[in-house]
Amino acid sequence: MEKKPLQPETERFKQILIEAYQRGELSTNMTVKDMVRELAHQLKQVFKRDN
């Protein structure tokens, strides 16, 4: 089965999620609220570029 390449926005979304997870793992004082806020901010930038 051949792997289909991801579209750029899907790849960017994947990278944002991975980075957020890694920062949460490394930070002892980052709350879930902080992580979600940062994630929402990054995703908002991605969607603004797409419009």
As a whole-number percent, the residues of the chain with pLDDT over 90 amount to: 0
Q: Report the number of distinct structural domains present in the chain.
A: 1
Answer yes or no: is 2 within a domain: no
- pTM of this prediction? 0.54
Answer yes or no: is 17 within a domain: yes
CA distance 13 to 45: 11
Domain housing 19: 8-23+30-50
Answer yes or no: is 37 within a domain: yes
Say what the pLDDT of residue 50 is: 60
Answer yes or no: is 41 within a domain: yes
Answer yes or no: is 12 within a domain: yes
Answer yes or no: is 1 within a domain: no
Answer yes or no: is 16 within a domain: yes
Confidence of residue 23 (pLDDT cuts 50, 70, 90): confident
CA distance 25 to 23: 5
Answer yes or no: is 40 within a domain: yes
